[in-house]
Amino acid sequence: MSKATFNMICEELDAAVTKKDTMLRMAIPVRQRVAVCLYRLATGDPLRTVSGLFGLGISTCHKLVLEVCAAIKNVLMPKFLQWPNDERLGQIKSEFGSISGIPDVAGAIYTTHVSIIAPKVSPALYYNKKHTERNQKPSYSTTVQGVVDPRGVFTDICIGYPGAMPNDQILEKSVFSKRFNMGHSKNVRVVGNSSYPLLDWLLVPYTHQNHTWSQHSFNEKIGDVQQIAKDAFMRLKGRWACLQKRTEVKLQDLPVVLGACCVLHNICEINNETMDESLIFDLFDDEIVVGENAKGKSVNAVQVRDSIAHNLLHHSH
C-alpha cells in the first residue's frame, strides 16, 4: 500500500477512531491506530509480535484492531464496497461483455473459506471435511462469498456462514440472492462456478459429460469470467495474510475483520496498488458440484443458457 493510500485511509477514519487525551495518558494517534490494524491484517503476526513492534500492550493492540476494523466497516464500506449504480452497471456489463461475449453479466461470484479454531458451540457446523482430508487433521472454517466487477473489486459480500455449508446454500441464504429472487435486479446476470445452481440470473458451466461444441465454448467463456473472481480472492488473501492461516480472532468478531479486509482490498484495487506476484495466495476451495437437477433450476434458465451458448459459438465463427 502506498503512503498516499494510507494517508487517505487515516483521513477518512480520523473522526471515527480519534480518542481524546486524558489526565493520565496521551491518546494513541490515529495514524498509529490504523498502522497497528493494517500491520496485523497484512501479516497475520501474533499480537505479541505486533505489540513489541509498536510499543503497545497486547490487549491494547487487540482492541485497536477491532476498533479500526469496525470503523472501516462503518465509514469506508458505504463508500468503497457497494452494488454499482445504473451507470456503473452499464460499464461493468460492457467490460464483461468484451471479455466473454456473454450479455448482461454484472458480476462474478466466488466463495472462499477462512480457517478458524474449533468453536465451542456447534463445532460440527464449521467442520470442513475437504480441508480435513487435505490437512490430515480436523479443520474448521467460516466463509466469505463475494461478487466482483471486471477489475476484481468487490461489489457485494456475504460473510460468516459456517464452513460445513455448501456454496449453493450460502447463496440461497444471502441478501444478495434474495434481492435477485425478488426481481430487484432486472437484465442482470452473475457468473459462478459449478458449486452454484443454474438460476434465471446465475450462469454456471455445463457439468454433464460429453459437451457439444457450443457447450464447450460456453464453459471456456464462463471460466474466463469466473477466474476474475478467483483471482480477486487470491489477491485478497495475498494482501491480508491474516486470512491465510487459522485465525485467533473470536468467531463473533470475525465478520467485522473479514469485512474490513474486503474493503481494504477494494481501496487498494481502486487506487491501482500493484501487488508483488509472489504474494498472490493459491486458494484451496473445493468445488462441490451442484447436480444439473438441482432444486430451484428453472426451465427458462436452461433455455437461456443454451441460447447464449449457441450464439457464442456462432458469433465467434
Residues 6+ positions from 36 with CB-CB distance below 8 Å: 50, 54, 56, 61, 64, 65, 68
Q: What is the pLDDT of residue 135?
A: 82
> Among 273, 269, 252, which Cα is nearest to 69's?
252
Question: pLDDT at residue 315 above 80?
Answer: no
- Split at pLDDT 50, 70, 90, the class of 8 is very high
- 17, 30 in Cβ contact below 8 A? yes
CB burial class (10 A; 0-12, 13-18, 19+) of residue 23? exposed
Strands 189-191 and 105-116: parallel
Q: What is the pLDDT of residue 307?
A: 92
Report how far residue 131's alpha carbon sits from residue 20's, in angstroms, rounded to the nearest whole number. 46
Question: pLDDT at residue 236 above 70?
Answer: yes
Report how far residue 265's alpha carbon sits from residue 82's, in angstroms, rounded to the nearest whole number. 13
Q: What is the pLDDT of residue 131?
A: 84
Give tens-digit pLDDT for 50-104.
999 999 999 999 999 999 999 999 999 999 999 999 999 999 999 999 999 999 9
Q: What is the pLDDT of residue 186?
A: 82
Question: pLDDT at residue 296 above 70?
Answer: no
Question: pLDDT at residue 297 above 70?
Answer: no
Question: pLDDT at residue 289 above 90?
Answer: no
Q: What is the pLDDT of residue 277?
A: 84
Question: pLDDT at residue 292 above 70?
Answer: no
Grid cell in block for residue 12: 477518512
**Average pLDDT, integer, range 5-28:** 90
Give tens-digit pLDDT for 183-214.
777 889 999 999 999 999 999 999 988 899 99
CB burial class (10 A; 0-12, 13-18, 19+) of residue 280? middle
